[in-house]
Structure 1
Amino acid sequence: MKILFAASEIYPLIKTGGLADVAGALPVALRKKGLDVKLIMPAYQGILEKVAPIQKSINLGNPFGVGDLLLLETHIPENNTPIYLLQCQALYEREDGPYVDRNGIDFKDNHIRFAALSWATATLALHGNLIDWQADILHLNDWQTGFAAAYLESWKVKHLPIVTTVHNLRYNGSFDMDQFSDTFLSTELLSMHGMEFYGRFSGLKAGLVYADAITTVSPTYAQEILTPEYGDGLDGTLRAMSEKLVGILNGVDYEQWSPEVDPLIAQQYNTDNLKQKQANKLALLQENSLSEDLNQPIFGVVSRLTEQKGLDLILEVMPNLLDKGARLVVLGSGDKQLESGYLALQDKYPEQVSVRIGYFEDYSHRIQAGIDALLIPSRFEPCGLTQLYALKYGTLPIVRQTGGLADSVFELTEKANGFVFADASKEALQAAMERCMTCFHQDKVRWQALQKNAMSYDFSWEAVTDQWETLYKSLLIDK
């Protein structure tokens, strides 16, 4: 099977969140299984330096009046995955991030930038003769590529089956109606059963209503988004299409995320020499000039600093646990008020708290290897990847029971691998953290058993590729 996989970010070329990790790893795992997968993504500033030399350039013209769209054929050197980069200087070559400017404000022309990516994706899916390779399946990811389904619908031609994966329903890519004409899409699509969204138009809704299959990144999240609480205004649309909705838990690339082979950590280890994890703990404390008492637990946060992630709850409960000797290491950025709150906590407890604003891939590996427990008190969590990384490193996640967290972290089972709480409240989080501290201090046998359980779970991409292959095949049979 030939799969055209479209995404707005792909690791290791560019990353702002979990979408990049998935888009960078799932196609590689599918290719290992024998599927013929090619990627498409914008050629953001600096991207061409990270790929192999361009093999071919295809001029797709200037359909949006902002300059020619060039399709550059190359591959990602790290894994040899073929990729088409969409180059347009006016749209993509900016010094800031892929979506927002240096002040964190969405680019005003995002609707054009990702309509162009979607148009090129739809064109490539329909006209494989452009690259001498005709896809069987078009796999879209989130709102930035959802417009591709709308283009194929508006062109009123027979086309290949479409899969749309929702990584986070809250980011629906909706825009004012007065911007719709910039996309050159047909106004026939602007109905409540089309891509109209509460008086606006939405790239994600287009990807949902015009797809042949909708996937989410965990089974529990697939059920949650059918409810008003988690549906973000799309629950009615999703309930109407629930027969084509499936949840497949994200995986982990263990070639990148495993303490047995990780070159970025102080000391490699596995379940047979778990004591070596202590060397990583000491190195993390020393790197951050924190108290080097190995007999006290280190809690960690590697996350976007947003209310969705429950990061405000940690600020409320942490002082009480710090007063009992715990330490906290934080890596992330986002809400300025939360950033200030964590920096203030660091100022108050300089020997126990370390906060770095931003994201540094190497450092995130050292955190996972060095901390004892990872905090993820999310109000909702489509999948979550950091808890999957933590498990492999023998770092016990403390999670709220929602979305992919509920599908991967368990406390009251024979193969318990972390600590779980139900309510998105400071009381529930504090109780779970105190259970963790009690176990750490008073039951070393159980603590080590939890660590070994955690490391024994297989959340590799290889473990879920069968589900993806089955889904793709079902769509071809239906056609």
Structure 2
Amino acid sequence: MKVLFIVSEAVPYLKVGGLGDVAGALPEALRRAGVEVRVVMPRYGLLDPQALGLRQLRGNFPVEMDWRREECQLWEDPRTGVWFIENQYFFGSRHMVYGNGDEIEQFVLFCRGALEACRLEGWIPDVVHGHDWPTAAAIRLHWAAPGRAGLVFTVHNLAHQGAQRPGGWPLLGVYDGRGPLNLMQQALFCADLITTVSPTYAREIQTPDFGFGLDGQLRERNDRLVGILNGLDLAAWDPATDPALPRNFGPHDPAGKQTCKQALQKELGLPVQDVPLIGVVSRLDFQKGIDLVVQGLDEIMATSSAQLVVLGSGEHWLEDALRRAAAAHPTRVAAWLGFSAPLARRIYAGSDLFLMPSLFEPCGLSQMIAMRYGSLPVARATGGLVDTIVDCDQPEGCGYLFGPYQREAMVHALTRALAGYADPNFWGAARYRAMTRDFSWDRAARSYLEVYRRAMAFAGHPTVD
């Protein structure tokens, strides 16, 4: 089975969000399952072909765009087989991945270039798998192709849809389109199978609260909608081998976690004390619930001995609020505003609790990393957080969940967690369960393989292994 895996970002080349992690890890798991996967992504200006060891497979080849023709180039990483589509104006000259004023046109060109490169190279996929709105055009463009492949589209975050004012339809070769072009909507209509990154998120996006205007369309296609929980790259996230940690540890040898905690307290200027340490590693915006953290911080400080460490950047008012909190509680709160991948790893390893009060969370990666590193998550019961965390009021508990998006609910969940932390035997057992949860990508790959077979059948394509 040949699968064209078309993405806008992928580890190890480029990561803006969780999509990059998926695009790096899932293809490897699929290959282990016997699938021939071809990952293709844009060759942005910040990706240096020489530094990455890329080779050019094909010089300028024409790509039709509405009334004009663009020239693209095809590059390959010979070590991984990943393809890169380059266009000097739309990608090569730019160092920003998202947020360009013409990004609809930019990513439609990428999708057209990716499909054309497959044709020119004679690499004909059995399945085309697109991810989020930047690759939605590939699903729409391939939909009407004779003898087409099965079409699978994964929704990582429905909030971003690739919507454009009226007039964008000709980019897709449609000249009688009405209303604004919405690329996400087009992919949801044309895909043989739609997947999301967790079972709970698949249910949530069929409701007005999480559907962002597309819930009706998703309810109509409910029989083609599948929630598959993302995995975690267990080799990349392993406290037993992580070089960023001052001391390694594991579920059967947890002593190093205390060393990591003390080192983290010292690194961030907090007193080295045996008190509960709460960690936050997050983008600071409305989705991640950091406003609840700010609202509840004084109460947490007043009713417990806990320390709080925050790593992240984002909305200025949240950054300012965290600066003020750190100034008001210099021995209890540390805010590192920005991002540092090594520090993030040390927070996962050094914290006892990991706070994720997200408004919505399609899957979430941080809670899985936190559990692997022995930090029990305290999270809102939404999306993939529900699918990955078992509340400690259950025998197999490995974290704490709360329902309403309210400060009081979050503080109550933290209070429960701090009470659990005070019981060493209970906490040690819960931490062991968290660290030994199975989040491997091989499990997800088996589910995607079944989705690919179903998509090929819906497309009238002979099923192959």
TM-score normalised to structure 2 length: 0.93
Aligned counterpart, 1:208: 188
* Superposed displacement of residue 359, structure 1: 2.8
Q: Given that residues 137 and 172 in structure 2 are in contact (C-alpha distance below 8 angstroms), is that contact kept between their aligned partners in structure 1?
A: no
Aligned counterpart, 1:120: 113
Q: How does 1:129-144 map to 2 (within 5 A)?
A: 130-144=120-134
The whole-number CA distance in structure 2 between the counterparts of 1:444 and 1:302 is: 25
> In the TM superposition, what whole-angstrom CA distance separates every residue of 1:139-167 from its partner, at most 9, and x where no partner exists?
100000001122223x5533111100000
Q: How does 1:207-286 map to 2 (within 5 A)?
A: 207-286=187-266
Q: How does 1:382-421 map to 2 (within 5 A)?
A: 382-411=362-391, 412-421=393-402
* Superposed displacement of residue 224, structure 1: 0.9
* Superposed displacement of residue 347, structure 1: 2.3
SS at match of 1:82: coil
The whole-number CA distance in structure 2 between the counterparts of 1:445 and 1:157 is: 63
Distance change in 2, residues 1:24/1:263 (3 Å)? same
Q: Given that residues 56 and 74 in structure 2 are in contact (C-alpha distance below 8 angstroms), is that contact kept between their aligned partners in structure 1?
A: no
* Superposed displacement of residue 58, structure 1: 4.2
Q: Given that residues 122 and 149 in structure 1 are in contact (C-alpha distance below 8 angstroms), is that contact kept between their aligned partners in structure 2?
A: no
Q: Given that residues 5 and 140 in structure 1 are in contact (C-alpha distance below 8 angstroms), is that contact kept between their aligned partners in structure 2?
A: yes
> In the TM superposition, what whole-angstrom CA distance separates every residue of 1:169-198 from its partner, at most 9, and x where no partner exists?
1111111113444x253134x35xxxxxxx
The whole-number CA distance in structure 2 between the counterparts of 1:178 and 1:27 is: 36
1:300 and 2:301 are equivalent in the alignment: no
The whole-number CA distance in structure 2 between the counterparts of 1:273 and 1:349 is: 33
Q: Given that residues 359 and 405 in structure 2 are in contact (C-alpha distance below 8 angstroms), is that contact kept between their aligned partners in structure 1?
A: yes
1:56 and 2:36 are equivalent in the alignment: no
Identical-pair percentage: 35
Residue from 140, 150, 168 that aligns with 1:150: 140
Aligned counterpart, 1:88: 87
Q: Given that residues 57 and 73 in structure 1 are in contact (C-alpha distance below 8 angstroms), is that contact kept between their aligned partners in structure 2?
A: no
Q: How does 1:135-214 map to 2 (within 5 A)?
A: 135-153=125-143, 156-181=145-170, 183-188=171-176, 190=177, 199-214=179-194
* Superposed displacement of residue 206, structure 1: 1.5
Aligned counterpart, 2:32: 32
Q: Given that residues 422 and 428 in structure 1 are in contact (C-alpha distance below 8 angstroms), is that contact kept between their aligned partners in structure 2?
A: yes
Q: What amino acid maps onto 1:73 in structure 2?
A: E
SS at match of 2:339: coil
More deviation in 468-477 or 112-121?
468-477
Distance change in 2, residues 1:445/1:433 (3 Å)? same
- If asked which structure has higher relative contact order (CA below 8 Å, sep 6+), I would say 2
* Superposed displacement of residue 243, structure 1: 0.8
Residue-pair matches, total: 454
* Superposed displacement of residue 258, structure 1: 1.3
Q: Given that residues 54 and 75 in structure 2 are in contact (C-alpha distance below 8 angstroms), is that contact kept between their aligned partners in structure 1?
A: no
Q: Given that residues 143 and 172 in structure 1 are in contact (C-alpha distance below 8 angstroms), is that contact kept between their aligned partners in structure 2?
A: yes
Aligned counterpart, 2:43: 43
* Superposed displacement of residue 301, structure 1: 1.2
SS at match of 1:69: strand
Q: Given that residues 150 and 185 in structure 1 are in contact (C-alpha distance below 8 angstroms), is that contact kept between their aligned partners in structure 2?
A: no
Aligned counterpart, 2:293: 314
> In the TM superposition, what whole-angstrom CA distance separates every residue of 1:382-416 from its partner, at most 9, and x where no partner exists?
10010011111111000111110000101132210
Distance change in 2, residues 1:458/1:224 (3 Å)? same
* Superposed displacement of residue 67, structure 1: 5.1
Aligned counterpart, 1:329: 309
The whole-number CA distance in structure 2 between the counterparts of 1:35 and 1:213 is: 18
Q: Given that residues 288 and 357 in structure 2 are in contact (C-alpha distance below 8 angstroms), is that contact kept between their aligned partners in structure 1?
A: yes
Distance change in 2, residues 1:50/1:17 (3 Å)? farther
Distance change in 2, residues 1:72/1:408 (3 Å)? same
The whole-number CA distance in structure 2 between the counterparts of 1:342 and 1:476 is: 50
> In the TM superposition, what whole-angstrom CA distance separates every residue of 1:89-120 from its partner, at most 9, and x where no partner exists?
21123564311xxxxxx211111111111112
* Superposed displacement of residue 237, structure 1: 0.6
Q: What amino acid maps onto 1:457 in structure 2?
A: R
SS at match of 2:241: coil
The whole-number CA distance in structure 2 between the counterparts of 1:234 and 1:26 is: 27
SS at match of 2:153: strand
> In the TM superposition, what whole-angstrom CA distance separates every residue of 1:191-221 from its partner, at most 9, and x where no partner exists?
5xxxxxxx42111111111111000000011
The whole-number CA distance in structure 2 between the counterparts of 1:307 and 1:339 is: 13
* Superposed displacement of residue 55, structure 1: 5.0
Q: What amino acid maps onto 1:108 in structure 2?
A: G
Q: What amino acid maps onto 1:306 in structure 2?
A: D
* Superposed displacement of residue 374, structure 1: 0.9
1:8 and 2:11 are equivalent in the alignment: no
Q: Given that residues 128 and 139 in structure 2 are in contact (C-alpha distance below 8 angstroms), is that contact kept between their aligned partners in structure 1?
A: no
The whole-number CA distance in structure 2 between the counterparts of 1:45 and 1:281 is: 39
Residue from 74, 77, 101 that aligns with 2:77: 74
Aligned counterpart, 1:427: 408
The whole-number CA distance in structure 2 between the counterparts of 1:433 and 1:109 is: 44
1:98 and 2:86 are equivalent in the alignment: no
Aligned counterpart, 1:196: none
Distance change in 2, residues 1:95/1:286 (3 Å)? farther
SS at match of 2:286: coil
Q: Given that residues 38 and 81 in structure 1 are in contact (C-alpha distance below 8 angstroms), is that contact kept between their aligned partners in structure 2?
A: no
Residue from 407, 422, 425 that aligns with 1:445: 425
The whole-number CA distance in structure 2 between the counterparts of 1:346 and 1:286 is: 15
Q: Given that residues 28 and 81 in structure 1 are in contact (C-alpha distance below 8 angstroms), is that contact kept between their aligned partners in structure 2?
A: no
> In the TM superposition, what whole-angstrom CA distance separates every residue of 1:309-353 from its partner, at most 9, and x where no partner exists?
111001111122234332222122222222222222222223322
The whole-number CA distance in structure 2 between the counterparts of 1:255 and 1:394 is: 16
**Consecutive aligned runs of 4 or more in structure 1 exceeding 6 Å deviation:** none
* Superposed displacement of residue 66, structure 1: 8.3
* Superposed displacement of residue 417, structure 1: 0.2
Q: Structure 1, unaligned stretches of length 5 or more?
A: 100-105, 192-198
TM-score normalised to structure 1 length: 0.91
SS at match of 2:361: coil
Aligned counterpart, 1:103: none
